[in-house]
A and B are shown apart, each in its own frame.
Chain A
């Protein structure tokens, strides 16, 4: 085994062992940092408040789980309706954003035309506008068109926020799809359209799934746009609806954590079943 050059105060084996310890320690610390908030949320959600706060402490060991918080949520609040609103606009903007991203990404990669670099730059620069900045004129525009409080308007607004990054993602991704694939289809007499449909899209699947996941996360998570576009209670998304909980006299931490748990279920399912695509998306989006 080669000895280390230069300063060798400590033997190689000890060095390796220390490194191993440091590695596991880092992993442990970060795991704890990540898990603790989630654990707290789950525990508070499944205990009745009386159990959580019994005796003037905060009891975080779930000895008496109960569904009380969820029942209160379903009974005294419009959680279900908020949830449905969120699902509608999230699915809508995910589909819209991904479609636009695939089309634009492909076009940016394969075609050349005047103004293309301008278009590409515009995509990146639109990313630099804070959603709140876009929200103000969008509010006035939607208001003028009578589109406030519509699922349609919110879907558009959410797509506006997620589309730039999705386009960029697909653009990067399509660059890893060699033109040779398409050319070999053309050689066999396929039209451009069919080539795209039957050759390119399947290959691009990991790419557009990760773009879709990103769009989903942005939309599901959104608070700013929903807050601006929606003012009628029955149109609120789950994020806006839940944000009003903290102010209500009859809603406490138990119900708040319960609704947080409900809101977390779709992302959790995605993380569990689609993580492969997410990772692929990150690996492409972050590279040159």
Chain B
């Protein structure tokens, strides 16, 4: 930009500011008041209320202030660590598999194969389908009597008797993970595909001329470009899956024998089956601090350039 133009713009800018100060203020207000009001009513108040509730035992019937007592009881109970483990396993497995599948497919589509466009359109679908529908589908497929997976496994001689995947101790968590991955792999896929398609093809051309193998090209060109996106996916999806309630609740209710009970399911149980809102909100508080801690560490360690400030 020429100096003359720059100074003209600067003059126009300050003129604008002097002339239209109120217009700007109004715009500022219009930008933020809705967001602020909204957040206060729908987030801040409930969360403060919830944290407040967590300091009481049975807060609705006969509240009794116990300070951090609920938290102590939670963390002291051995079962808590089991539920935490389930949450971690679920989040890591789902996010990891989604990433692998998403990345694999993105790399494939990026090669401009035939049918690539159709496949890309197809992949939007799982993400947009409601969780309930996804669960209906997979419950049908994994059913021990009418499920096609069992039919296939038995016919192929791989198993003797059909397995009730969602109700069997060893297979409940994998079944839930597969259902979740089916729905969420496309999220990773689209982000990575967009990123891939933004990479300058000349880079690859030069690499090929210099004799790099596919693997080397991937390692030295593709991966560095994807690194940021991968980290974002891991963080965002990881958090989201850690907090996921509806998939597990609708498919197994946390069973069998609490094998798939993650922390959000436990919160629901504490709140509505055991009617202990104090413990439920305390657990929710613990979840939040865990995730916040992880997020802070994550940002510091991996991606300072995506710091939100």
A and B touch in the complex (CB under 8 A): yes
Q: Is the CB of A128 within 8 A of B291?
A: yes
Q: How far is the CA of A123 from the CA of B43 in the complex (A)?
A: 10
Q: Is the CB of A132 within 8 A of B268?
A: yes
Stretch from B66-74, B76-84, B158-166, B209-217 at the A interface:
B209-217
Tell me how far the C-beta of A69 lies from the nearest C-beta in chain B, rounded to whole angstroms: 13
Q: Is the CB of A183 within 8 A of B12?
A: yes
Q: Is the CB of A111 within 8 A of B28?
A: yes
Q: Of all chain B residues, which has the CB nearest A27?
A: B108
Interface size class of B (residues with CB under 8 A): 35 or more
Q: Is A104 an interface residue (CB 8 A)?
A: yes
On chain A, the residues within 8 Å of B295 by CB distance are 124-125, 128
Q: How far is the CA of A130 from the CA of B210 in the complex (A)?
A: 50
Closest 7 pairs (CB-CB, A-B): A107-B31, A283-B194, A130-B243, A286-B191, A267-B128, A137-B46, A133-B284
B residues sitting closer than 8 Å to A (CB atoms) are 1, 8-9, 12-13, 16, 20, 23-24, 26-28, 30-32, 34-35, 38-39, 41-43, 45-47, 49-50, 53, 101, 104-105, 107-109, 111, 113, 115-116, 119-134, 136-138, 140-141, 146, 148, 151, 182, 187, 190-195, 197-198, 208-214, 228-229, 232-233, 236, 239, 242-246, 250, 264, 267-268, 271, 277, 280-281, 284, 287-288, 291-292, 295, 305-306, 308-309
Q: Is the CB of B264 within 8 A of A130?
A: yes
Quick one: CB contact mask for A137-151 with B, threshold 8 Å, 1 for yes?
A: 110110000000000
Partner of B41, one of A6, A156, A187, A271: A156
Q: Of all chain A residues, which has the CB nearest B190?
A: A282
Could you give 9 example pairs across A and B, Cβ below 8 Å? A5-B211, A23-B107, A30-B105, A58-B146, A263-B130, A267-B129, A275-B124, A279-B194, A286-B195
Tell me how far the C-beta of A75 lies from the nearest C-beta in chain B, rounded to whole angstroms: 20
Q: How far is the CA of A4 from the CA of B125 in the complex (A)?
A: 40
On chain A, the residues within 8 Å of B140 by CB distance are 40-41, 44, 253, 257
On chain B, the residues within 8 Å of A50 by CB distance are none
On chain B, the residues within 8 Å of A15 by CB distance are 214
Q: Is the CB of A27 within 8 A of B119?
A: yes
Q: List which A246-271 residues lie within 8 A (CB) of chain B.
A: 246, 253, 256-257, 260, 263-264, 267-268, 270-271
Q: Of all chain B residues, which has the CB nearest A243?
A: B132
Q: Provided the pairs A186-B13, A253-B140 are in contact, do residues A131 and B245 lie with their beta carbons within 8 angstroms? A: yes
Quick one: CB contact mask for A203-227 with B, threshold 8 Å, 1 for yes?
A: 0000000000000010011111000
Q: How far is the CA of A272 from the CA of B117 in the complex (A)?
A: 12
Partner of A288, one of B26, B124, B137, B305: B305
Q: How far is the CA of A52 from the CA of B133 in the complex (A)?
A: 19
Which secondary structure characterizes the binding site on chain B?
Answer: helix
Q: Is the CB of B246 within 8 A of A224?
A: yes
Q: How far is the CA of A184 from the CA of B210 in the complex (A)?
A: 45
Partner of A104, one of B32, B45, B130: B32
Q: Is A136 an interface residue (CB 8 A)?
A: yes
The winner among B190, B198, B244 for most chain A CB atoms within 10 A is: B190
Q: Of all chain A residues, which has the CB nearest B262?
A: A130
On chain A, the residues within 8 Å of B126 by CB distance are 34
Tally of chain A residues near chain B (CB < 8 A): 100
Q: Is the CB of A256 within 8 A of B31?
A: no
On chain A, the residues within 8 Å of B39 by CB distance are 122, 126, 163
Q: Is the CB of A100 within 8 A of B288?
A: no
On chain B, the residues within 8 Å of A163 by CB distance are 35, 38-39
Tell me how far the C-beta of A144 lies from the nearest C-beta in chain B, rounded to whole angstroms: 10
Q: Provided the pairs A138-B42, A156-B42, A191-B20 are in contact, do residues A264 and B133 lie with their beta carbons within 8 angstroms? A: yes
Q: Is the CB of A136 within 8 A of B137?
A: no
Q: Is A31 an interface residue (CB 8 A)?
A: yes
Q: How far is the CA of A273 from the CA of B104 in the complex (A)?
A: 26
Q: Provided the pairs A23-B108, A34-B182, A187-B12 are in contact, do residues A239 and B34 lie with their beta carbons within 8 angstroms? A: no
Q: Is the CB of B130 within 8 A of A117?
A: no
Q: Provided the pairs A132-B245, A138-B46 are in contact, do residues A242 and B132 lie with their beta carbons within 8 angstroms? A: yes
The winner among B210, B213, B305 for most chain A CB atoms within 10 A is: B213
Q: Is the CB of A270 within 8 A of B128?
A: yes
Q: How far is the CA of A58 from the CA of B142 in the complex (A)?
A: 13
On chain B, the residues within 8 Å of A222 by CB distance are 130
The winner among B50, B295, B309 for most chain A CB atoms within 10 A is: B50
Q: Is A173 an interface residue (CB 8 A)?
A: no
Q: How far is the CA of A111 from the CA of B31 in the complex (A)?
A: 10
Q: How far is the CA of A131 from the CA of B268 in the complex (A)?
A: 11
On chain B, the residues within 8 Å of A133 by CB distance are 50, 243, 264, 267, 281, 284, 287-288
Partner of A38, one of B125, B146, B308: B125
Q: How far is the CA of A44 from the CA of B126 in the complex (A)?
A: 18
Q: Is A230 an interface residue (CB 8 A)?
A: no
Partner of B42, one of A4, A159, A186, A287: A159
Partner of A160, one of B30, B43, B245: B43
On chain B, the residues within 8 Å of A184 by CB distance are 9
